[in-house]
Every structure is written in structure tokens, then in C-alpha cells.
Chains A and B, each alone.
Chain A
Amino acid sequence: MTTGETAEEAARRLRVFLVDDHAMFRAGVRAELGAFVDVVGEAGTVPAAIAAIVALQPDVVLLDVHMPDGGGRAVLEALRRSQPQVRFLALSVSDAAEDVIGLIRAGARGYVTKTISPEQLADAIRRVADDDAVFSPRLAGFVLDAFAARPDVPVADPELDQLTNREREVLRLLARGYAYKEIAKELFISIKTVETHVSNVLRKLQMSNRYELSRWAADRRLV
């Protein structure tokens, strides 16, 4: 997966900012990522993160879901409008659907779990910086579940509330643990096309008013 990326890396070292309330975890990620990107700063609280991100203007912010004072969502909501050029990647131990979906709907470009390998994390950061989306297998599973064709649920806006067959196929392969490159090979399409499909799914996930999605939001009082 990481082959041929050294050239690209040399051309542009991405500036990454870490937000997590566990200092030990920040230190670990910093050490792991040092070889791939520039970690320009880190913060352990929501206010500190907001101030530092505005000051440092990183390319990508790695955002923890669960923190005191509102967690990653609070950071996202504070900066989404004023800092549209900053990309956010949610990084969490939580696999709970509502957490994942909540952060994505607040504007994160992707979601990965903390058990991800450093190479994969660097890869995900690069993808998010390029304005593509990053889905963990489990997130892909959630999305498939949320957008499952249910005869009893009326579809208000087919453009937003339904996945195309191709998008479904891509998500299935993601959920099966395929990397983008492998998906491209399996479906006989280019990696760029895979990325487009995933980005479209992300957009639907953020914009759709499907019942399942709004229910998650309502459960967490995120409406």
C-alpha cells in the first residue's frame, strides 16, 4: 500500500495536528507518524485544540471522539465554518454507530479506529488531505446498514437517501477489508473512481435525512 509514496512524501510533508485527551496516546501517534508526516502540534482539551488549530493551520487534524467538554464534535463545530481548508479525520476506540456517524455528519472526512497500523494511518491522512474520504471497514458496514433498502421507509430524496449499486459494491469490499487498490482491481475501475464513489457516499452520509441517520443524531441529542 505504501509503495511509491516516498516521492510524493518528499514533495509535500503534510502538517498534522493531534487532538486527544490521553497524553500517552498522543505521544504514541506522534512517534509512529513521525516518519510519514509532520506533527505540528497537539492538544488535550477542546479550547486548546480550537486555538492551536486556528493558529497553526494544519492540513489534517486527527480528532478523538470522546473527550471532556463535548469531544471531537465540539472542535468540529467550532472550526467547520471558519476553517474550511482544514480536514478532519476522526480517530477513536469507540465502535458505537452513533459516535461514528455523529462525527462524520459534523464534517469529519473519515473515521478510523485507534488500532490502525501507522502505515495505514499515514495513508488515511494523505487521502483525507486530498479531500477524499476514509472509511474503516466497520464504518462501511454501518453505512450499508443505515442505507439498506427497507420497503417501509419512504425515500424523500433519491439523490441523497439511496446508494447506487456501485457505491454499495465499493462499500461491501471496504467492509470485507479490501484496500482501495484492491477494490479497483476487483471491480475493474481506477483507484480514482473508487475514491470518487467513497466521497459520494460520505456526502450522502453527511447530507441525507434518512430516518436511521437522524435517529442516531436524535439519540445523541445532536440534531
Chain B
Amino acid sequence: MKLLLCLFLAATLAQASAFDEAAFGVHLNGWHRDGSARYSLNGSNYRTLKPIKTTDTNGNTVLRVTVLHAANSWAEVPFDLEVTTAPDGTLQGTRISGSPRGQKLDTGLISPPSPPEAAAPSKDPASAATEKARPSDPISEMKSALFASFDSKIATAAETKDTRKRDLLARIAGPEPIDATAISAGLRYNLDLLLGGSAMPSK
């Protein structure tokens, strides 16, 4: 079991470390000359900026994409999505950060759960059943934890007082709507692509 999990993680992460920007762009309707891709998902419009790859102080590779949700005809709500991998290709974690309506939002680096230690076979049938029921996909667990954190934080941020400077036209038009569901869906879609999923958005 432990071996399988390690192999699964390494395979996923090898994909992330050998990142194919062009293929990523194809799944987002292609890159425009302004360095972004435009696409729709379930009636919501998004832009994703070209990924930027950096190396952190620990030598890990950080792949960051900015996903912008079109809140209305003139406002976009941007979030940074980061995938961090170790030099050997092991996934270290994912992170979402942004500042909706001027409120800092950061999920912090959410790491995949470590594989369970190999334990002696239990004689207790109830314990064995629990072991069997435990989710076996650490990537899914990591994504669940990431978006659980994100969803709670964005709900708080959207309700907090806007501290940004607002010009005359912004005051007349009012603040941009924060559609947490649509933003979350856009980020999930991009994360799935970064971690190796594939789907085609509508144009």
C-alpha cells in the first residue's frame, strides 16, 4: 500500500515538474499575446496568466499561475495558485493566495497527507474496516483540504469591510461581486490541469 502511494505521488509530481506550458494553454483555449488564456466554465468567464516557475529557498520548484474570475464586465478577481515540488519531483503541496476586496487570503501550503505507516495486521475486525474506509488518494485529500480552507477564507473575506481605495467611478458602480463558487471552480479546474487532469472548457 505504502509503495503504491509513493509511486502514485511520484508519478503525479514528475508530471508537474516536467510542466508543459503549451499543453496547459491548449486546455485553456490557447495563449493570447497578452500572456493570458480566456475560457468559460459553466457560464463563468476566466483568464489564466502564463505560469511562472521559480525556485524557493529550499530548492523546491514553485509553479504559480494567476487565475482571474470575471466578476462582471469590468472587474476581475485574481488568485494565485501555486504547486510546489521537491527537486526529486515529489509534490510538496499546493497553495492559493489573493486579496479579494483588499482582504489578504492565503491558505498556506497544503501538503498531501503522508502515507500511513505499515502496521501489524490487526485482529480487530472493526479496526480493519476503518482502515479499509480511509481514502487512499492523497492528492484528492490534499485538494479537499485546500479548497475547504479556501472556501472558508473567501467567505470571510467577502464579508469583511473593503479597505481598498475606491475612485469616483468605482463608488458609483459599487464593489465587484465575489462569486465564491465560480472562483473555486476555476481554481479547481486549473489545479487539476497542473496536477495532470484534462478537460476542455467552453470558448
Query: Do A and B interact?
Result: no
Binding site for B on A (CB under 8 A): none
